[in-house]
Amino acid sequence: MTEAVFQFKAIKQKLDRQDQKAEFEAKEEAQRASYAGLYGVMVPLVRSDYSGLFEKIHELYGDIKI
């Protein structure tokens, strides 16, 4: 009986670690996608010598208060 409990706990710990790893990887991927989206918006604006930069930011994000 105790051997079965020990095996169950070991399997549960392994699955918990896998879940934590998968959750961490999903968060990292979402963050990378967020940065890629921001990069995709900002680079063309900067490359156009800032023409329309503030208008585009206002269009995308509205009024930004600092």
Q: Which residue has the higher pLDDT, 64 or 28?
A: 28
Q: Could you tell me if residue 48 is inside a domain? A: yes
Task: Give dist(CA 46, CA 54) in Å, integer.
Answer: 11
- pLDDT for position 42: 62
pLDDT at 3: 84
- Looking at the chain, the number of H-run helices and the number of E-run strands are 2, 0
Written as six digits, the tokens of 11 are 């399997």
Q: Is residue 25 part of a domain?
A: yes
Evaluate the CA torsion angle 16, 19, 21, 24 in order and state its sign: negative
Given a cut of 60, whether residue 63 has pLDDT beyond it is yes
Q: What is the mean pLDDT of the chain?
A: 75
Per the structure, the count of domains in the chain is 1
Between residues 17 and 58, the one the model is more confident about: 17
> Is residue 3 situated within a structural domain?
no
Higher pLDDT, 8 or 57: 8
Structural domain of 58: 18-66
Token readout for 19 is 């879940």
58 within domain boundaries: yes
